[in-house]
Amino acid sequence: MPELPEVETIVRDLKKKIIGRTIKAVWFDAPKLIKPSAKNLQKIKGLKIEDIKRRAKNILIYLSDKKLLLIHQKLTGHLLYGKWKIKKIQNSKFKVQSLLKGPLEEVVNNYIHLILYLDNGWQMALSDLRKFAKILFGSQEEIENLEEIKKLGPEPLEKNFDFKKFKEAITKKSGKIKQVLMDQNVIAGIGNIYSDEILWEAKIHPFRTVKSLSEDDLKKIFWSLKKILSEALRLRGTSVSDYRDPAGKKGYYEVRRRVYQREGEKCRRCSALIKRVKIAGRSAHFCPKCQKI
DNA sequence: AGTTGTGTTGAAGA
DNA sequence: ATCTTCAACACAAC
């Protein structure tokens, strides 16, 4: 599940590889993922990759001719950089196969549904097991001005995101703190993994309402947010299930996890057993002893 | 072997 | 408006 640290890792790695390259051809087998239409994506041929940025969990690939390719990897998508061949098997079926040995051969990297062929003989591909990803191709102006992009909350790792901005953002919403932290229009880039991790670090129960939080509680959450997200970014993200970097390799935050998917294991602070409960259809992990209501 | 969990987002329902 | 539920999809685990 790519959240801010994972998406940022992908963007930074891709920057080193594909900026300056021209797209020679495009292949895909899941046209439903592509908006406004898959046919329209053919117009990407011949365009040059000028820059890559991240906004929330979106990857923005800036192209020549003032065009923009937006990719949201959703749950199981991740961009890869490598070389593949499309192998035909009987009755018009086919299989995408990595030509490079190593991590790219791993099963999680073999749900390729989009390939951009670059002018250096390499390719950028999207692997997405569940086919939830969103691919948007259009003019820079058109995509940057989409309501869903414009209404996104502030970027939490930016230097100018201070406690004042955090408090402003978080207190404009009501509800449980975990849900508010995951709201992309409050703060951009936090999902299920890091909301659990941040609240454990801050010793705040995920069910606490924003209204019930003291100034001191908010400060603890703010500093935990900065600490956890930057640590996860430094460790190149979490690969509990299918996230991989563009080389197909895992992130290292997995081994440092405090609570996420550690139900029944010992709390790293007090040795109580980590609990998992449902909140609005998704699971929240927390320590029942350190994180009191 | 059918059911459930997985977790992002937008849309639909209440 | 604001909340919750669901659908999109594939696979593992039970």
List the domain boundaries for chain A. 4-150, 163-286
Residue closest to C7 C1′ by Cα: A132
Residue whose Cα is closest to the C1' of B8: A74
Active site residues of A: 2-3, 57, 282
* Of the options 3.30.565.10, 3.40.10.10, 3.20.190.10, 3.10.105.10, the CATH number for the domain spanning A4-150: 3.20.190.10
Would the CATH topology of A4-150 be identical to that of A163-286? no
Specify the CATH architecture of the domain A163-286. Answer: Orthogonal Bundle (1.10)
Assess whether pLDDT exceeds 80 at residue A96. Answer: yes
Residue A242 pLDDT grade (very low, low, confident, very high; cuts 50, 70, 90) = confident
- Categorize the per-residue pLDDT at A37 as very low, low, confident or very high, splitting at 50, 70 and 90: confident
Taking alpha carbons only, the member of A208, A219, A199, A193 closest to residue A282 is A193
Residues A253-267, mean pLDDT to the nearest whole number: 90
pLDDT of residue A25 exceeding 90: yes
Pairing of strands A275-279, A282-286: antiparallel
Residue A89 pLDDT exceeds 80: no
Per-residue CB contacts under 7 A with strand C, chain A residues 256-285? 280-281
Specify the long-range contacts of residues A204-207, CB closer than 8 Å, at least 24 apart. A204/A177, A204/A291, A205/A286, A205/A291, A205/A292, A205/A293, A206/A176, A206/A177, A206/A178, A206/A277, A206/A279, A206/A284, A206/A286, A206/A291, A207/A176, A207/A177, A207/A178, A207/A279, A207/A284, A207/A293
Q: Residue A155's pLDDT is what?
A: 95
Higher pLDDT: A239 or A156? It is A156
Q: Write down the pLDDT at residue A259.
A: 92
Whether the CB of A132 is less than 7 Å away from nucleic strand C comes out as yes
The predicted-structure confidence for A154-163, as pLDDT tens digits, reads as follows: 999 999 999 9
Q: How far is CA A45 from CA A24, A133, A175, in A?
A: 5, 21, 46
Q: Is the Cα torsion angle A205, A206, A209, A213 positive or negative in sign? A: positive
C1' of C8 to CA of A215 (Å): 40
**Residue A195 CB: number of other CB atoms within 10 A?**
27
Cα–Cα–Cα angle for A153, A37, A141, nearest 5°? 45
Distance A183 CA to B3 C1' (A): 30
Segment A251-278 mean pLDDT = 90
Indicate the pairing of strand A34-35 with strand A134-139. parallel
Distance in Å from C13's C1' to A192's CA comes to 21
Is the CB atom of residue A241 positioned under 7 angstroms from any atom of strand C? no
User: Do the beta carbons of residue A201 and residue A224 sit within 8 Å?
Assistant: yes
Q: Near strand B (CB < 7 A), which residues?
A: A 1, 3, 56-57, 72, 74-75, 132, 148, 182, 184, 191-193, 260-261, 276, 278, 281-283
Token output for A87: 């192998």
Which pLDDT score, from 0 to 100, does residue A282 have?
81
Q: How many whole angstroms separate alpha carbon A85 and alpha carbon A107?
A: 16
List the single range of A75-89, A132-146, A274-288 with lowest mean pLDDT: A274-288
**Residue A173, nucleotide of least CA–C1' distance:** C2
**Residue that the structure tokens 């990595």 belong to:** A98
The candidate with the shortest Cα–Cα distance to A15, out of A64, A79, A65, is A79
Average pLDDT, chain A: 92
Mean pLDDT of A125-129: 93
User: What region, left, alpha or beta, does residue A152 occupy, with left being phi > 0 and alpha being psi -120 to 50 degrees?
Assistant: beta
Nearest nucleotide to A129, CA against C1' atoms: C10
pLDDT confidence of A175, banded at 50, 70, 90? confident
Write down the pLDDT at residue A239. Answer: 87
pLDDT of residue A55: 94
Classified as helix, coil or strand, A58 is strand
Q: Which nucleotides of B are covered by protein (CB under 7 A)?
A: 5-10
Specify the nucleotide whose C1' lies closest to residue A111 (CA): C10
Only one residue has tokens 């890869």, namely: A80
Confidence (pLDDT) at A93: 72
Q: Which nucleotides of C are covered by protein (CB under 7 A)?
A: 2-6, 8-12
Rounded Cα–Cα distance for residues A158 and A156 (Å): 6
Judged on CB neighbours under 10 Å (0-12, 13-18, 19+), A227 is middle
Q: Whose C1' is closest to the CA of A189: which nucleotide?
A: B8
Percent of chain A residues topping a pLDDT of 90:
74
Distance A241 CA to C13 C1' (A): 14
Residue A92: pLDDT band with limits 50, 70, 90: low
